[in-house]
Amino acid sequence: MDRSPRKLLAFIGMTFAFSWTLAALPLALGIKSWQAEWQVVGVAIMFMPAVSAIAVQKLVCKEPLKVPLGISFKLNRWWLVAWLLPLLIAFAAMGISLLVPRVSFSSDLSGFFERLERGGMPAELVERMRTQTSSFPIHAFWIALAQGLFAGVTVNAAVALGEELGWGSAHI
């Protein structure tokens, strides 16, 4: 999208209107914020900037989508940087955190399980989780790391596309 005030205002107006309308629906239906339906609404709201950008490009300005919105699935080194940099930042944050007094690394996940119990999770469920994680063939950390890296380039990338396509195109 170009930087014309008309397009920008149309994009922002549509994005907020679509997002707040979607957010109001579960409230009007009495759905509580902890219910699974709210997660579905949250994911749908993340697509509203993309929907708005496409609507402005095609319906309001009657212009093409691919080049103005910067849509490209060609692999390049920045994909690798975007995929692995958060991992490096997390390791650096963990290392810096260990320099803080009274902070320690717990390889047996005892602190994690204590927080679950303090948060109200039933003790028998916490104990079952503790037993399951101790029976894993590799440490739970490595499993979570692999799952996070896989989810980052699949499910999470698809969901984030809605935000990135919309807000990323708003400044062009």
DSSP state string for 75-133: --HHHHHHHHHHHHHHHHHHHHHTTSTT----TT-HHHHHHHHHTT--HHHHHHHHHHH
Q: What is the pLDDT of residues 128-164, one digit of tens each?
A: 999 999 889 998 889 999 999 999 889 888 888 888 8
- Please list, in sequence order, all residues whose beta carbon lies within 8 angstroms of the beta carbon of residue 171, skipping any fewer than 6 positions away: 3
DSSP 3-state of 25: helix
Higher per-residue pLDDT: 2 or 102: 102
Q: What is the pLDDT of residues 27-68, one digit of tens each?
A: 898 887 777 888 889 889 999 999 998 998 888 888 877 777
As a whole number, mean pLDDT of residues 111-122 equals: 87
125 in any annotated domain: no
Q: What pLDDT, on a 0 to 100 scale, did the predictor assign at position 90?
A: 92
When pLDDT is cut at 50, 70 and 90, the band that residue 18 belongs to is: very high
Tokens of 147: 């799952």
Please tell me the total count of domains within the chain. 1
Q: What pLDDT, on a 0 to 100 scale, did the predictor assign at position 171?
A: 54
Q: What pLDDT, on a 0 to 100 scale, did the predictor assign at position 51?
A: 92
130 in any annotated domain: no
18 in any annotated domain: yes
Q: What is the pLDDT of residues 71-105, one digit of tens each?
A: 777 888 988 998 999 999 999 999 999 999 998 88
148 in any annotated domain: yes
Please determine, for residue 1, whether its predicted confidence score (pLDDT) is greater than 60.
Answer: no
Rg, the chain, Cα only: 22
Q: What pLDDT, on a 0 to 100 scale, did the predictor assign at position 69?
A: 78
Domain with 161 in it: 1-105+136-172
50 in any annotated domain: yes
10 in any annotated domain: yes
172 in any annotated domain: yes
